[in-house]
Chain A
Amino acid sequence: METNHVKQENRRALPRFLLTILGASILGGVGGGLVSADRTGVLAGSVGTAVNRILTATTPWGILVSGVILLGIAWGFYRSGKRLYSQWDGENDASVDMAAEKLSYTLLFSTLEMVICFFFLSASFPYAYSQGPYGILLVVVEFIAVVVGIVVLQQRVVDLEKIMNPEKRGSVYDSKFHRKWMDSCDEAQRSQVFQASYHAHMITSRACVFVWLMLIFLNFMFHFGLMPSFVVLLIWGISQVSYALACIRMGRHKIG
């Protein structure tokens, strides 16, 4: 009975799985064909030149411009969240829940800016150096200034969260912040964190496979070697192995 149920589920899911494999193969074939069509490397050359020009022009100011835009948006969300909380009468759930959501958006945009900062900092070495050593110095100064802005904004968000939720513990300047914050979360909040983490793990896994596939094709055109594919697979591997090990560990010990 149980075995039949398992077989039935497999039979139902198999056609879709095969269709997905077929679709991916066709897509891969078309992509490979397009790449091989550019045998002379004309397309690769022009794309490479365009990327070089764009990065040479944007790298010196990328951190500053993205910082002003994204931290500006993040600051707007923070102010809005703070205002909503200050108007909270202690009963209306909607307004305080909205305030918490605004603070989540503040963290989202500030984290996004952090990623962009790291990108432009790494891009500054090959691209800003062409404009002299001051090019790199300028990027480093911008990087420090924007990262300080991000940290201060995140500290304000955490402080406001702690006022909204007096049971919360931890300071952003503490190296054990994440552990202390998690320890002060109750069962519902932990459940949300776990669900969000699982969602992020699944998205990361899919994104890694997609990016790896893109890198395989693009390597035919741009000949950047195996390093990018290796890095993506390393991230995927770490994510998968750490997830599997955590499952094994939790299976041995009690949960909660």
Chain B
Amino acid sequence: MPLHNRLKEYRARLGINQQEMGARAGVSRQTISQIERGDYSPSVTLALKLAKLCGVTVEDIFTIGEDEHGD
């Protein structure tokens, strides 16, 4: 199932770039970029860290979409 996210939107609200976001979350800029593009699904630990940084819950940032079969 695809994982949708609003990380870019919340990062923009914080007014920081990917490098800064990565530094705060303890990951690389590329990882933030990949998460925002939907190319990488973060671990629970990283998702919780990102949510905490943005001051929201994990569900506010990440949502599971329905796949092609509608499961």
Give the B-binding residues of A (Cβ under 8 A). Answer: 90-91, 93, 96-97, 100, 164-167, 185-189, 191, 256
New A-B contacts (7) at CB < 8 Å, excluding given A91-B18, A93-B37: A97-B30, A164-B29, A165-B29, A187-B43, A188-B27, A188-B35, A189-B30
Contact residues in A for B23 (Cβ distance below 8 Å): 166-167
Q: Could you give 26 example pairs across A and B, Cβ below 8 Å? A: A90-B17, A91-B17, A91-B18, A93-B18, A93-B33, A93-B37, A96-B29, A164-B29, A165-B28, A165-B29, A165-B30, A167-B22, A167-B26, A167-B27, A167-B28, A186-B28, A187-B31, A187-B43, A188-B27, A188-B28, A188-B31, A188-B34, A189-B28, A189-B30, A189-B31, A256-B43
Q: Interface size of B by Cβ–Cβ distance < 8 Å?
A: 19
Instruction: Classify the secondary structure of B's interface with A.
Output: helix
Contact residues in B for A191 (Cβ distance below 8 Å): 40
Residues A90 and B19 in contact, CB atoms below 8 Å apart: yes
Contact residues in B for A100 (Cβ distance below 8 Å): 30
Shortest beta-carbon distance from B68 to chain A in Å: 21
- Give the distance in Å from the alpha carbon of A96 to the alpha carbon of B28 in the complex: 13
Closest residue of chain B to A189 (Cβ to Cβ) is B28
Is B46's beta carbon under 8 Å from chain A? yes
Is B42's beta carbon under 8 Å from chain A? yes
- Give the distance in Å from the alpha carbon of A167 to the alpha carbon of B26 in the complex: 8
- Give the distance in Å from the alpha carbon of A240 to the alpha carbon of B27 in the complex: 33
Enumerate B4-27 residues with CB–CB distance to A below 8 Å.
17-19, 22-23, 26-27
Residues A186 and B40 in contact in the complex (CB < 8 Å), given A90-B19, A91-B17, A93-B33: no
Residues A186 and B31 in contact, CB atoms below 8 Å apart: yes
Contact residues in A for B42 (Cβ distance below 8 Å): 187-188
Contact residues in A for B28 (Cβ distance below 8 Å): 165, 167, 185-186, 188-189
Enumerate B32-71 residues with CB–CB distance to A below 8 Å.
33-35, 37, 40, 42-43, 46
Residues A186 and B26 in contact in the complex (CB < 8 Å), given A93-B33, A97-B33, A191-B40: yes
Contact residues in A for B27 (Cβ distance below 8 Å): 167, 186-188
Closest residue of chain B to A100 (Cβ to Cβ) is B30
Most A C-beta atoms less than 10 A away, residue of B18, B23, B26, B30: B30
Contact residues in B for A93 (Cβ distance below 8 Å): 18, 33, 37
What 3 A-B pairs come out closest when comparing CB atoms?
A: A186-B27, A188-B31, A188-B40
- Give the distance in Å from the alpha carbon of A123 to the alpha carbon of B20 in the complex: 51
Contact residues in A for B29 (Cβ distance below 8 Å): 96, 164-165
- Give the distance in Å from the alpha carbon of A89 to the alpha carbon of B37 in the complex: 19
Contact residues in A for B17 (Cβ distance below 8 Å): 90-91
